[in-house]
Copies of this chain bind each other. A is one copy, B any other.
Amino acid sequence: MASGDEQVMRNKQVILRAYVTGFPKESDMQLNTTSTITLKLPQGSTGLLVKNLYLSCDPYIRTRMTKQQSDTPSFGAFTPGSPITGYGVAKVLESRDERFKQGDLVWGFTGWEEYSVINATQIESLFKIKNTDVPLSYYTGILGMPGLTAYAGFYEVCSPKKGERVYISAASGAVGQLVGQFAKLSGCYVVGSAGTKEKVDLLKNKFGFDEAFNYKEEPNLDAALKRYFPEGIDIYFENVGGKMLDAVLLNMRFRGRIAVCGMISQYNLEKPEGVHNLMSLIYKEVRIQGFGVHNYYHLYEKFLETVLPAIKEGKITYVEDVVEGLECAPSALIGLYTGRNVGKQVVVVSRE
A274 to B271, CA, bound (A): 12
A285 to B72, CA, bound (A): 10
Q: Mark A61-103, 1 if CB is under 8 A from B, else 0.
A: 0010000011010010000000000000000000000000000
Number of copies: 2
**Beta-carbon contact of A273 and B272 below 8 Å:** no
A275-322 contacts to B (CB < 8 Å) = 275-292, 295
Name the residue of chain B whose CB is nearest to the CB of A245.
B278
Q: Does A241 contact B (CB under 8 A)?
A: yes
Name the residue of chain B whose CB is nearest to the CB of A246.
B274
Known: A273-B274, A274-B274, A275-B278. A283 touches B241 (CB 8 A): no
A275 to B280, CA, bound (A): 13
Which of B63, B260, B263, B278 is close to A260, meaning CB atoms less than 8 Å apart? B278
Name the residue of chain B whose CB is nearest to the CB of A272.
B276
Which of B72, B75, B254, B282 is close to A263, meaning CB atoms less than 8 Å apart? B282
**Beta-carbon contact of A283 and B278 below 8 Å:** no
Known: A272-B276, A272-B278, A278-B260. A283 touches B245 (CB 8 A): no
Q: Does A336 contact B (CB under 8 A)?
A: no
Q: Does A261 contact B (CB under 8 A)?
A: yes
Q: Does A195 contact B (CB under 8 A)?
A: no
Q: Does A21 contact B (CB under 8 A)?
A: no
Name the residue of chain B whose CB is nearest to the CB of A291.
B285
Give A240 Cβ to nearest chain B Cβ, in Å.
12
**Beta-carbon contact of B281 and A290 below 8 Å:** yes
A275 to B272, CA, bound (A): 9
A181 to B63, CA, bound (A): 39
Number of contacting residues on A, CB 8 A? 36
Known: A273-B274, A274-B274. A285 touches B290 (CB 8 A): yes
Chain B residues with Cβ below 8 Å from A277 are: 272
Q: Does A262 contact B (CB under 8 A)?
A: yes
Q: Does A46 contact B (CB under 8 A)?
A: no
**Beta-carbon contact of B287 and A288 below 8 Å:** yes
Chain B residues with Cβ below 8 Å from A275 are: 274-276, 278
Q: Does A11 contact B (CB under 8 A)?
A: no
Q: Does A266 contact B (CB under 8 A)?
A: yes
A25 to B281, CA, bound (A): 27
Give A25 Cβ to nearest chain B Cβ, in Å.
22
Name the residue of chain B whose CB is nearest to the CB of A256.
B290
Give A269 Cβ to nearest chain B Cβ, in Å.
9
Known: A273-B274, A274-B273, A274-B274. A279 touches B292 (CB 8 A): no
Give A6 Cβ to nearest chain B Cβ, in Å.
40
Which of B75, B271, B287, B295 is close to A283, meaning CB atoms less than 8 Å apart? B75
A295 to B282, CA, bound (A): 12
A291 to B286, CA, bound (A): 7
Chain B residues with Cβ below 8 Å from A295 are: 285
Known: A278-B245, A278-B263. A69 touches B283 (CB 8 A): yes
Give A300 Cβ to nearest chain B Cβ, in Å.
18
**Beta-carbon contact of B279 and A286 below 8 Å:** no
Q: List 16 A-B contacts (CB under 8 A).
A: A63-B279, A63-B283, A70-B283, A245-B278, A260-B281, A260-B282, A263-B282, A273-B274, A273-B276, A280-B290, A283-B292, A285-B289, A285-B290, A286-B289, A286-B290, A287-B287
Besides the known contacts A72-B254, A283-B292, A286-B290, 12 further A-B residue pairs in the complex with CB atoms under 8 A apart: A70-B284, A75-B283, A241-B279, A260-B281, A260-B282, A263-B279, A266-B279, A272-B277, A274-B275, A281-B289, A287-B287, A287-B289
